[in-house]
Structure 1
Amino acid sequence: MSAPEEGWTFADGPSVRMSLAIATADLREAGCDNPRLDAELLLADALGATRTSLHLHPERVLALAESERFAALVARRRAREPVAYIRGTRGFRHIDLTVDRRVLVPRPETELLVEVALGLPRAARVLDVGTGSGAVALALKHERPDLDVLATDLSADALNVARANAAALRLNVTFAQGDLLSGVEGAFDAVLSNPPYVPDGDREQLEPEVAVHEPAQALFAGGDGLDVLRRLAADAAARAPFVAFEVGAGQAPAVGALLREAGMTRVRAHRDLAGIERVVVGER
């Protein structure tokens, strides 16, 4: 049973169980990958509750205002707006970040970029290039408070999100606006980056959550997706003995070659949980 596209409510008050069933069917019809999970997350938000409480009290009746709130959230998800934008938050490693359309939704595979940097020397000076929501810089500072972490982004809007996240988490990270490394001076012990790396021609193949809702300037990087990395590799290698980049599927060999050309003598790729060579590390 699919709900009308204009939104839906129940005069007699739907139960949690019924609300979830209808919303799940709606989201499945809209092509969402995880319709039941999405429905549970959105209903929990609409009720100011937890997903656990939904399972514990499936016959709990929604008030009219709650049903209307839930319907509005489901309508946004039907339009394939990412759940993270609808809820306004996304978990990343051990922190929760505020996110909206000004920044990319932090992804699980990007956590690998933090992991490869956890072994840096004590008090190392680290630069996160293209910080977006601040996910990498803030997660790293949270787990390694001894590090001196700086982060840059070309987008003033993204930096506003990152600074707000840093303030909410009470993490001392310095932010600067600039194109790649142009916003900061001096040498670093490490440069990390999750840069734009999606080839321009792949736009039509992306899910609507990405292609329609996420900021294009943080996604696309020329015909082969390497335009930004070509600009970044040499500068990063000249400024730090340790460089780590997140890359797209199949890009690791080319990015490794860029780092070797830039003088990195030890280059290796780390695979994500899907087995994709996701983070390329260069050292000298």
Structure 2
Amino acid sequence: MAFSGVPIREALDSALVAIRATGSPTARLDAELLLAHALGVDRARLLLDRDRPVEGEAIRVFQDLVRRRAVGREPVAYLLGRQGFRHLGLAVDPRVLIPRPETELLVELAVAALPQGARVVDIGTGSGAIALALKDERPDLDVHATDVSGDALDVARANAARLGLEVTFWRADLLDGPVGMEAFDAMVSNPPYVAEADRGTLMRDVVDHEPPSALFAGAEGLDVIRRLVIGAADHQIPWVALEHGMGQREQVLALARDAGYPTVTGHDDLAGIDRVAVASR
């Protein structure tokens, strides 16, 4: 991968070949994002300046980024140090799960359903994506967020400070913690839900780099979801929304019914995949 002095179009083509060989389904997008980052421009500028030579420090930075993506299979979001979520730009690194577009459905449902001034807690907040998006789109909400990882909370707090969004963060193992859960009107969570048996089906980008504690949840992938549903019912939280994996909908809804929630609904993401379960009373 020698990019020195070559125009942008050729640098992109060379990077595309290297990244595509890894099986990345977004190889061209990956290459464009990495080159734009190395040059300090947005992606649109690459199309306008396709004959501009890649020179100087940008060469070293781009070559290193492409190598790390193609050889080490590092996720682009970690290489760039950022990821978009709803209307926010979030800082991310290997201490936290990378926010996914499908998780935006969880925010959409909560924004539409929660009453004015509701007190809501995001369990397992990671980068703070869900909690911060809720506060951004519904400033009236009293938003709290927890995580068992102190490192993850450092990332979330930094994102909140940079974005100027007031969210209360505290360290807790799921529903344990210093704040009485009975005081909350709603709970939202994107918990770990990948079954251990499915570990081998995940792309290397995910399994080699993202925090395993945010991915895996026992033999069926339901260990954490089960604890959350039972805990929410025990604490009498009236509205609960949980992201889950494909094919887990009926099991999650059954857990909610068994826990005493009279109303349970499932919601598909934009790809038509069962993604979020909502339980309410």
TM-score (norm 1): 0.95
Q: Distance in 2 between matches of 1:136 and 1:180?
A: 15
Q: How far did residue 144 of structure 1 move?
A: 0.1
Q: Which runs of 5+ in 1 are unaligned?
A: none
User: Aligned residue for 1:20?
Assistant: 12
AA of the residue aligned to 1:234: I
Q: Distance in 1 between matches of 2:257 and 2:175?
A: 19
Q: Deviations over 1:62-81 (max 9, x none)?
A: 21321111001101111211
Aligned length: 276
Runs of 4+ in 1 over 3 A off after TM superposition: none
Task: Identify which of 254, 261, 275 aligns with 1:257.
Answer: 254
Q: Deviations over 1:145-178 (max 9, x none)?
A: 0000000000000000000000010000000101
User: Aligned residue for 2:278?
Assistant: 281
Q: Distance in 1 between matches of 2:9 and 2:195?
A: 43
Q: Which runs of 5+ in 2 are unaligned?
A: none
Aligned positions of 1:1-284 closer than 5 A: 3=1, 8-10=2-4, 13-78=5-70, 79-119=72-112, 120-183=114-177, 184-185=179-180, 186-239=182-235, 240-284=237-281
Q: Distance in 2 between matches of 1:93 and 1:168?
A: 16
Q: How far did residue 33 of structure 1 move?
A: 1.3
**Is the 8 Å Cα contact of residues 142 and 171 (structure 1) preserved in structure 2?**
yes
Q: Distance in 2 between matches of 1:109 and 1:30?
A: 24
Q: Distance in 1 between matches of 2:122 and 2:233?
A: 14
Q: Distance in 1 between matches of 2:189 and 2:3?
A: 45
Q: Deviations over 1:160-211 (max 9, x none)?
A: 0000000010000000101001123142110001101000111111001111
Q: How far did residue 9 of structure 1 move?
A: 4.2
AA of the residue aligned to 2:206: V
**Is the 8 Å Cα contact of residues 16 and 61 (structure 1) preserved in structure 2?**
yes
Q: Distance in 2 between matches of 1:65 and 1:137?
A: 38
Q: Which moved more, 1:121-130 or 1:65-74?
A: 65-74
Percent identity reads: 57
AA of the residue aligned to 2:46: L
Q: How far did residue 237 of structure 1 move?
A: 2.5
Q: Distance in 1 between matches of 2:232 and 2:79?
A: 35
